[in-house]
Amino acid sequence: MLGTFTFHNPTKLYFGENALEGLFKELPKYGKTVQLIYGGGSLKKNGVYDAVTEILRKCGKTVVEDGGVMPNPTVEKLKEGVRIARENRVDLLLAVGGGSCCDYAKAVAVSVHCDEDPWEKYFVRYENPSCEIVPVGCVLTMAGTGSEMNNCAVITNDAQKLKIGKVFDERVNPKFSILNPIFTYTLPMRQTVSGVYDIFSHICEQYFSGTDNNVSDALSEALMRSVVDASLTVIHNPENYEARSNIMWAATWALNNLIGCGKTQDWTVHALGQALGAYTDATHGLTLAAVSLPYYRLVLPYGLSKFVRFAREVWRIDPTGKTDSEIAEAGLCAMQDWMKEIGVAVSMRDLGATENMIEGIADATLLSEGAGYHTLTRDEVIEILKESF
- The burial class, CB within 10 Å (0-12 / 13-18 / 19+), for 126 is exposed
- The distance from CA 32 to its chain's CA centroid, rounded to whole angstroms, is 30
Please answer whether residues 154 and 165 qualify as being in contact, where contact means their C-beta atoms are separated by less than 8 angstroms.
Answer: yes
> For a pLDDT cut of 70, what percent of the chain falls above it?
99
Query: Measuring CA to CA, which residue among 130, 64, 123 is closest to residue 93?
Result: 64
**Side-chain-side CA neighbours of residue 143 (13 Å):** 33
In this predicted structure, the answer to whether residue 1 has a pLDDT above a threshold of 70 is no
Taking the C-alpha atoms of residue 56 and residue 203, their distance in angstroms, rounded to an integer, is: 35
Lowest average pLDDT, out of 11-25, 37-51, 135-149, 328-342, goes to 37-51
Mean per-residue pLDDT, 129-154: 96
Average pLDDT value for residue range 117-130: 95
pLDDT attached to residue 2: 65
State CA 172 to chain mean position distance.
16
Per-residue pLDDT at 370 exceeds 80? no
Beta-carbon count within 10 A of 98 CB: 28
Over the Cα atoms of the chain, what is R_g?
A: 20
Question: Is residue 155 pLDDT above 80, yes or no?
Answer: yes
pLDDT per residue as tens digits for the range 265-300 = 899 999 999 999 989 988 889 999 999 999 999 999
Name residue 94's amino acid: L
The pLDDT assigned to 264 comes to 85
What residues does each domain of the chain span?
12-183, 189-388
- For residue 93, what pLDDT band results from cuts at 50, 70 and 90? very high
Closest alpha carbon to 276 in 371, 147, 363: 363
CA 287, 289, 144 angle in degrees (round to 5)?
Answer: 80
Q: Which CATH number describes the domain made up of 189-388?
A: 1.20.1090.10
State how far the Cα of 72 lies from the Cα of 334, in Å rounded to an integer: 30
Residue 69: pLDDT over 80 = yes
Tell me which of 208-217, 274-283, 375-384 is least confident.
208-217
Q: Which pLDDT does position 223 carry in this prediction?
A: 98
Does domain 12-183 match CATH 3.40.50.1970? yes
What is the per-residue pLDDT for 229?
98
> What average pLDDT score do residues 74-92 get?
98
- Supply the mean pLDDT for the chain: 94
Which has the minimum average pLDDT: 23-37, 234-248, 373-387? 373-387
Residues 6+ apart with CB under 8 A from 222: none
- Indicate the pTM of the whole model: 0.94
Per-residue model confidence (pLDDT) at position 353: 86
Q: Has residue 346 got a pLDDT over 90? A: no
pLDDT of res. 6: 87
Gap between the Cα atoms of 148 and 141, Å rounded: 11
Average pLDDT, integer, range 361-380: 87
- pLDDT at residue number 41: 74
Contact call for residues 256 and 142 (beta carbons, < 8 A): no
pLDDT in tens, 188-210: 999 999 999 999 999 999 999 87
Q: Would you say how long the chain is, in residues? A: 389
